[in-house]
Every structure is written in C-alpha cells, then in structure tokens.
C-alpha cells in the first residue's frame, strides 16, 4: 500500500519519442558502472564543475563526473528531497544553491551506496572548480573535505569588450572575440592544471591526444548545429526539448569520445527521418515556445502539459543551441591549448552576462520563430540570475513576450505543477494569444 501511494503521488513521467534519447540514458548508466570499477581499482577520479576544461582530463584518460550532470541525475531519480533535508539537518541554509550543492548533500547520506543513483557517487580524489562564484568554490571545498579529495581551483576572468555577435567569431576568430591577455592567462592556467594532474595521477599529458579530443568535439557539435537548424526551419517541429535536452546533455559530458560523435550523428539522422516522413512532436502545432534557463530535471513532463490544449511546443533550449554556437573551435592543430582556452573562458559570458546572452537569445528566438519565452530563474543561484531583467527587456522590446518566474531545477520540494501550469496557461492565453502573437 505504501509503495502504491508513493507511485500515485509521483509526477507523471515525460513521453520521449527518440531512440537516441533512450540510447544515451542506457549508455550513461553503463559508462558510470565502468567508471565505478576503475575507481574501485584504485584510479584517481575527478569531480568537475561544468565550466572546467574537461578536455584535459579526457586527453589524459582520467575518469571524471561533471557536477551539473550528476545533480540532474539525482533530481531525475527523485533523490534530491532526501539529500536537501540532510543538508538542512546538518545546519546548512535551506536556500543554498541546490544545483551546485547536490553532491555535497549526497555526501551526508550514510546509506548512499545502497540507495543512491546507480549505487551513489564514488568518492573522488580530485575536485576541480573555477572561481566563477564564491558560493560554488566553498561548496566544492566542503564536498572535497567530506570525500577526502584534493581541491583544485582555476581562475576566472571577465571581458573588457563585448563583440555584438559573439557567435560569428567563436569558431575561427577567437583572437578578435577575447582580450589577448585573457587568453594568455587561460593558457597558463591550463598548463598549471596539466602539471597538477600529472603529479597527482602519474599520467602524462599528450598534446596530440588533446588535438584528437578537440576535433572529435568539433565533429559532435557540428551535428548539433545541423539539428538546431533543422528544428528551427521545420514546422511543426519534429521533436521538443523533452527529447533534445536529455539526448544532448548526456552526450555533452561524454564529449571528446567517438561514442559522443556517433550518438550526435544518430540523433541528427533520426530527427531528419522524422522530418522526411512528416512525423512531428505536436502535429497541431500553433505556438513555438522557448525555454530559458536550466532543465527542469525533476519534472520533464511539465513541458508537455501545453501541447494538446494549446498546440504549444517547447522547441528550444540552451543545451542544443549552445552546442551549435559555443563549442566549435576550428584549426585546433595550430595551438591546441589556446583553442581550448577560447572554448571554455567564454561560457560564463555567453550564458550569464548581458548583452552576450541577451543578444544571443534574441537571435535564437528569431531563428526558431518563437512565439513566447518561458524563463525559469533559479531562486537560489546568483550566477544564474544572469541579468534576467536585461534578457526579458531585450526579447520583449523585439515583440517576443516573456514569462519570468523563479523555481528550482533540481529541488522538487518547492515545486507545484498545478500552480506552475496555471501560470504558463495564463501567459499563453493573455500574453501570446490575446496579445496578438497568434
């Protein structure tokens, strides 16, 4: 009876239509089991924040897990309410950034190796973050202490110039995109990271392996660009964010591998087959919506609540679009470390700093014929506030209505689907339909 009640109270699961999404989900579990075996055999294991240049660890064959990916897994497995209650019971603030603090909270669970996702997170020997957020670095420090890991911190710098269309420069003209001294410092920071990892793990860095990794990533992101553009020009859309967020994010944390390239290619081919056969995610599509912010990892079915009633399809998220515009760096062979520096130092600018982000969101909204934007701002992450006022103003000044609300991408304790569904329905009816967008 208890189990039946629990299942009845759980949110509805999202409907997924792509085989590539299921393949990615199965692969990541298999990969994680392999990673656990390597850690249990005594290998060093890194836990990284998302903006850390994981390509270095990939080239050195050092196993690692990315903080934001693991937080999403914990949320999808419905473990986060338990973890955050443990955090609160340990005396931490209840509004601590949940996206970054999930693994810290999990480290407080004495039963994690029994009840945690896939047997819980193995204990890292290395925790690496960048100085992008004071809260984040402290969380990593506490997390590292709980696991007995060494903490390594990388620098973060701010731009002094803002090119109007960064996405036009990122692939080939990064010397124009960034200040020279900013790139110089990032290269030295990469060299220091390499030296630290060689000393810590006993593994040697091979620049030719990094070139291979970087070129594999370029190939993977090229497929994402083709997918992004295919969805943008196809109406009704062949897929929605329910499929693309899951398929892309899971493979992005495997970037630099042949599997990730093949998966990205298969994702494109499957979506292209939908287009060629006239198969669409919402056949009666009337509205195309953009989802701004992190994925709603604990309730993906929420995105599908508006399809039948309004013909409203969420067709855009940052995960696929960032892959298309932010990752590719050509001519890697000329200076691999500088190309890598040019990939990672701008991620915070592109995502969290106006007008870099606001101008890009507007470009993407126009490219995808977006009728309205639903924008989730985390209520407990200052970094992800990302100039939300300016983003909303930029889009609305261009005639694209925006619904901005605060919620948590991984903490389901504060989420009420009925309330939030009503909020979006009112937005669709009063701002998009009655507002004259449709």
Q: Say whether the peptide bond before residue 281 is cis (omega within 30 degrees of 0).
A: no
Mean predicted lDDT score pLDDT of the chain: 92
Tell if the pTM clears 0.85, that is, is over it. Answer: yes
Query: What is the mean pLDDT of the segment spanning 274-289?
Result: 96
Dig out the tokens for 378 from the structure: 């985390």
pLDDT digits (tens, 9 = 90+) for 85-112: 999 999 998 778 888 899 999 999 999 9
pLDDT over threshold 90, residue 147: yes
Residue 219: CB atoms within 10 A of its CB come to 16
The residue with tokens 């996206």 is 99
Query: What is the mean pLDDT of the segment spanning 302-327?
Result: 95
pLDDT digits (tens, 9 = 90+) for 357-404: 999 999 999 999 999 999 998 877 766 567 899 999 999 999 999 999
pLDDT digits (tens, 9 = 90+) for 45-60: 999 999 999 999 999 9
Could you give the CA distance from residue 165 to residue 157 in angstroms, rounded to a whole number?
A: 20
How many whole angstroms from its chain centre is CA 354? 19
Closest CA to 349 of 199, 167, 220: 167
CB neighbour list of residue 72: distance below 8 Å, 6 or more residues apart: 249, 295, 297, 409, 410
Q: Which pLDDT score is estimated for 143? A: 96
Residue 222: CB atoms within 10 A of its CB come to 18
DSSP β-ladder status, 312-316 and 287-292: parallel
pLDDT over threshold 60, residue 214: yes
Query: What is the mean pLDDT of the segment spanning 266-292?
Result: 96
CB neighbour list of residue 301: distance below 8 Å, 6 or more residues apart: 11, 12, 13, 14, 15, 242
Could you give the CA distance from residue 17 to residue 280 in angstroms, rounded to a whole number?
A: 10
- DSSP string covering 87-124, please? HHHTT--TTS-HHHHHHHHHTT-TTHHHHSGGG-PPPP
pLDDT over threshold 90, residue 2: no
Q: Which pLDDT score is estimated for 384? A: 59
**Strand ranges (DSSP E) for 144-223?**
150-154
**What b/e readout covers 254-267, taking b as 16+ CB neighbours within 10 angstroms?**
bbbbebbbebbbbb
Query: What is the mean pLDDT of the segment spanning 402-417?
Result: 87
More confident residue, 414 or 388: 388
Radius of gyration of the chain (CA): 21
Dig out the tokens for 222 from the structure: 């090229």
Could you give the CA distance from residue 105 to residue 383 in angstroms, rounded to a whole number?
A: 20
The residue ranges of every structural domain in the chain are 2-433
């Amino acid at each position: 009876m208890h189990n039946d009640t629990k299942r009845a109270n759980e949110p509805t699961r999202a409907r997924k239509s792509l085989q590539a999404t299921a393949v990615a989900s199965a692969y990541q579990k298999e990969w994680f089991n392999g990673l656990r075996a390597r850690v249990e055999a005594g290998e060093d294991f890194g836990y990284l924040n998302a903006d850390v240049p994981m390509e270095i660890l990939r080239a050195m064959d050092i196993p690692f897990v990315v903080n934001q990916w693991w937080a999403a897994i914990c949320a999808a497995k419905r473990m986060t309410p338990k973890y955050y209650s443990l955090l609160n019971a340990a005396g931490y603030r209840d509004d601590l950034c949940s996206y970054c603090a999930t693994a810290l909270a999990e480290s407080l669970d004495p039963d994690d190796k029994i009840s945690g996702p896939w047997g819980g997170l193995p204990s890292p020997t290395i925790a690496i973050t960048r100085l992008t957020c004071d809260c984040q670095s402290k969380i990593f420090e506490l997390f590292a202490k709980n696991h007995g890991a060494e903490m390594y911190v990388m620098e973060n710098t701010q731009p002094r110039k803002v090119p109007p269309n960064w996405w036009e420069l990122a692939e080939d003209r990064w010397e124009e995109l960034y200040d020279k001294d900013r790139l110089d410092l990032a290269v030295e920071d990469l060299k220091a990271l390499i030296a630290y990892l060689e000393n810590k793990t006993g593994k040697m860095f091979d620049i030719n392996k990094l070139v291979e990794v970087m070129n594999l990533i370029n190939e993977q992101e090229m497929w994402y660009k083709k997918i992004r553009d295919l969805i943008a020009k196809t109406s009704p859309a062949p897929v929605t964010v329910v499929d693309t967020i899951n398929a892309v994010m899971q493979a992005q944390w495997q970037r630099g591998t042949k599997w990730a390239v093949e998966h990205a290619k298969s994702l494109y081919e499957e979506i292209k087959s939908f287009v060629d056969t006239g198969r669409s995610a919402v056949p009666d599509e009337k509205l195309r919506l953009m989802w701004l912010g992190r994925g709603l990892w604990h309730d993906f079915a929420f995105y599908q609540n508006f399809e039948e009633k309004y013909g409203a399809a969420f067709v855009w998220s940052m995960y696929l679009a960032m892959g298309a515009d932010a990752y590719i760096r050509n001519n890697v062979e000329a200076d691999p470390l500088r190309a890598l520096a040019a990939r990672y130092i701008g991620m915070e600018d592109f995502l969290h700093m106006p007008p870099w982000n606001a101008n890009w969101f507007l470009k993407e909204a126009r490219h995808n014929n977006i009728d309205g934007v639903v924008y989730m701002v985390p209520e407990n992450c200052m970094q992800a506030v990302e100039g939300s006022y300016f983003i909303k103003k930029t889009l609305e000044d261009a005639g694209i209505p925006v619904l901005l609300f605060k919620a948590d991408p991984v903490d389901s304790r504060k989420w009420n689907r009925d309330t939030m569904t009503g909020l979006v329905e009112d937005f669709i009816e009063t701002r998009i339909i009655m507002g004259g967008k449709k």
